[in-house]
A and B are shown apart, each in its own frame.
Chain A
Amino acid sequence: MSEHSEASVRAEVRAWLEANWSVDCGLVAWRNKLIDSGWGVPSWPKGWFGRELPMALEAVVEDEFQRIGAVGVAKTGIRRLAAATLLVHGRPAQKEKFLRRSLTGEDTWCQLFSEPGSGSDLAGATTRAEFKGNRWVINGQKVWTTSAHHADWGLLLARTDVNVPKHQGLSYFVLDIHQPGVEVRPLRQMNGHASFNQVFFTDAEVPPEYLVSEVGRGWAVATTTLMHERRGADGIRTWGMASGGVGRIYDEERAEIVTVMEPYKWYPQRAGRVDLILERAKATGRASDPVVRQEIAKLLTLAKAAEWTARRARAAQMQGKPQGPEGSLGKLASSHVARAAARVHTLISGADAMLTGEDGAMDGLIAEILVSVPAGSIAGGTDEIQRNIISERVLGMPKEPRTDNDRPFRDVPKNLVG
Chain B
Amino acid sequence: MQFSFTSEQEEFRSVLRRFLGEKSPPAMVRRLMETEAGWERESWRELNQLLGLTAVHIPEAYGGQGFGPVELCIVLEEMGHALLCAPYFASAVLGATAIMNAGTEAQKRALLPPIAAGDTVATLAFTEPNGRWDGAGIEATATPAGGKYRLDGVKSFVLDGHTADLIVVLARSPGSTGDEGLSFFTVPGDAPGLARRALKVMDPTRKQARLEFHAVEADLLGEVGGAAAPFAKTLTQAAVCLANEMVGGAERLRQSALDYANLRVQFGRTIASFQSMKHKQADMLVDVELARSAAYYAAAAADDDDAELPALASLAKACASDAYMQTAINTIQIHGGIGFTWDNDTHLWFKRAKSSEVFLGDPAYHRELMMRAWNV
Contacts and interface: CB of A to CB of B under 8 A. Distances in A.
Contacts of B319: 301, 305
Nearest to B297: A308
A395 interface: yes
A229 interface: no
Interface string A285-301: 00100100110111011
Interface stretch (A78-86, A125-133, A256-264, A311-319): A311-319
Nearest to B1: A311
Contacts of B291: 305
Contact of A398 (B272, B315, B367, B376): B272
Interface string A397-411: 110110000000000
A400 to B, nearest CB: 7
Interface in A364-412: 384, 386-388, 390-392, 394-395, 397-398, 400-401
B376 A395 contact: no
A306 B290 contact: yes
A309 interface: yes
Contacts of B371: 293, 296-297
Contacts of A290: 368
Nearest to B2: A315
B290 A309 contact: yes
B370 interface: yes
A85 B276 CA distance: 36
Nearest to B272: A397
A302 B277 CA distance: 23
A397 B277 contact: yes
Nearest to A316: B4
Interface string B1-27: 001100000000000000000000000
Contact of B376 (A278, A319, A384, A394): A278
3 nearest CB pairs, A to B: A297-B367, A391-B278, A315-B3
Contact of B285 (A321, A336, A390, A400): A390
A397 B260 CA distance: 12
Nearest to A399: B273
A35 interface: no
B293 interface: yes
A120 B292 CA distance: 30
A298 B278 CA distance: 25
The winner among B3, B273, B315 for most chain A CB atoms within 10 A is B3
Contact of B290 (A305, A387, A398): A305
A336 B376 CA distance: 23
19 contacts: A278-B376, A287-B376, A290-B368, A294-B364, A297-B370, A301-B318, A301-B367, A305-B315, A309-B290, A309-B292, A325-B285, A326-B292, A329-B286, A388-B279, A391-B281, A395-B258, A397-B262, A398-B273, A398-B278
Nearest to A314: B3
B46 interface: no
A22 to B, nearest CB: 40
Interface string B265-282: 000011011010111011
A34 interface: no
A391 B277 CA distance: 9
Given A296-B376, A297-B318, A301-B318, A308 B3 contact: yes
Interface in B254-311: 258, 261-262, 269-270, 272-273, 275, 277-279, 281-283, 285-286, 289-294, 296-297
A281 B376 contact: yes
Contact of B282 (A281, A306, A309, A386): A386
Nearest to A336: B286
The A contact surface, by secondary structure, is helix
Interface string B193-235: 0000000000000000000000000000000000000000000
B3 A312 contact: yes
Contacts of A296: 371, 376
Interface residues of B, number: 36
Given A293-B368, A305-B294, A332 B376 contact: no
A332 B4 contact: no
Contacts of B261: 397
A336 B326 CA distance: 16
Contacts of B294: 301, 304-305, 308
Interface in A59-90: none
A248 interface: no
Contacts of B296: 308, 312
A282 interface: yes
A127 B273 CA distance: 33
A355 B319 CA distance: 34
A309 B270 CA distance: 31
- Greatest chain B CB density within 10 A among A326, A336, A392, A395 is at A395
B282 A387 contact: yes
A336 B368 CA distance: 21
Contact of A305 (B281, B283, B293): B293
B368 A312 contact: no
Contacts of A388: 275, 278-279, 282
A333 interface: yes
Interface in B328-376: 364, 367-368, 370-371, 374, 376
Residue from A290, A325, A392, A401 having most chain B Cβ neighbours under 10 A: A325
Contacts of B275: 388, 400
A272 B100 CA distance: 43
B4 A319 contact: yes
A85 B105 CA distance: 67
Contacts of A397: 258, 261-262, 272-273, 277-278, 281
Given A294-B368, A321-B4, A395 B282 contact: yes
Given A312-B293, A332-B286, A387-B279, 19 more contacts: A281-B376, A282-B376, A293-B376, A296-B371, A297-B371, A301-B319, A301-B370, A302-B290, A305-B291, A309-B289, A311-B3, A316-B4, A392-B278, A397-B277, A397-B278, A397-B281, A398-B272, A400-B275, A401-B273
